[in-house]
Amino acid sequence: MPSAAEPAAPVDSTELDLFRETVRRFFAAEAEPHYTRWEADGIIPRDFYRRMGAAGLLCVDQPEEYSGGGAPFEFAMVVLEEAGRMGYLALASNLTVHSDIVAPYLLHLGSEEQKRRWLPQMAAGECIGAIAMTEPGAGSDLQGMRTMAIADGDGYVVNGSKTFITNGQNADIVVLATKTDPAAGAKGTTLFAVDTSLPGFKRGRNLEKIGLHAADTSELFFDNLRVPVTAVLGRIGGGFGHLIDELPRERLALAVTAVGHAAGALEKTIDYVTQRKAFGAAVANFQNTRFELARMKTDLEVHRAFAEKCTRLYADRRLDVPTAAMVKLASTEMEGRVTDACLQLFGGYGYMTEYPISRYFADARIQRIYGGTSEIMKEVIARSLVGR
């Protein structure tokens, strides 16, 4: 891995393009025929993760010593961008949590024992990861969390609950944020790598949502869950700082996915308006349609450029928290504008679930909420400019 002062080597664009084609072919063969059923079931089957692992599409930039692909960071982002472009935002969301949040937490914060135990299984798709931060009464206010881990002998006893947890039904490992010292504020937060097979771990409902129907999004409960001290991830009391350190990758991943998702929606819309006729002419011949397409394409490419810049910054370990907030805010807001305008060009058919554009529209809405709401992003950016 390069140091902060040593930029990563430039990525071979030919290799990146070849990898992109591999990802597209894999999703076309392995996801496209089954995605409607996954949406009806409310979950992506575990076997699909194993197939992704066998194809080398999980934990793509994880070091080879932990069975990852050892590829440059840009390759990991291609997987998310293509999942979004093909309209599989629920899949992209699950993969982001698994490969681009949980795995990096373990890689950057875990002990050698934790890395050896979990990371090879995650790369193979044999173990699925989730991160549990949000609580029913706290939302974006992570310092308001109430889940407690109380030291007890050679371990901790955890009690509390989490909600809106992506991969919650499938998860084998959960990166869990808890309070270990309620009086210490942010410095009293600790992360744990929780084995979900332990007694006291309970899964609640697979929550129903207006979009992302193929993603399992769950309530999790911890009822006198005893974890060993070896389950601590990072520093005791350092959890809030660890969360801040890892947020840039999460937010960049959401931005890259947003760009891919908007691009896919626009591609489908161009195809539709070119073929659809109204008043004796193709809808694409109307000036309003042409101007809307031009506006959306321009909006998309501006944000693609920003996302690509931030991808390079992250690869060079120079992406800071405010810039990550900017790219997440800008790209997901653009995604909302584009998917909404695309649906409008479909007319009444766009509102019908048989047309994929309706899924693009419904799925896009969550992108301005999870990973930090647009309002929180604005606050993070503002604080970097004028302080509190």
User: 61-86 burial, b for 16+ CB within 10 Å, e for fewer?
Assistant: bbeeebbbbebbbbbbbbbbbbbbbb
Number of other CB atoms surrounding residue 328 within 10 Å: 30
Return all residues near 303 (Cβ < 8 A) that are at least 6 apart: 255, 258, 259, 262, 330, 331, 334
**250 included as an active-site residue:** yes
Query: Shortest CA distance to 342 belongs to which of 271, 253, 254?
Result: 271
Helix, strand, or coil here: 177?
A: strand
Contact 119, 109 (CB under 8 A): no
Rounded CA separation 381/324 (Å): 9
Amino acid identity for residue 76 in this structure: A
Query: Shortest CA distance to 231 belongs to which of 67, 106, 63?
Result: 106
First to last CA, the chain: 35
Return all residues near 373 (Cβ < 8 A) that are at least 6 apart: 140
Instruction: Find the catalytic residue in 250, 308, 335, 375.
Output: 250
Distances (CA, A) of 73 to 20, 77, 301: 13, 7, 21
Rounded CA separation 135/137 (Å): 6
User: Which residues are known catalytic residues?
Assistant: 250
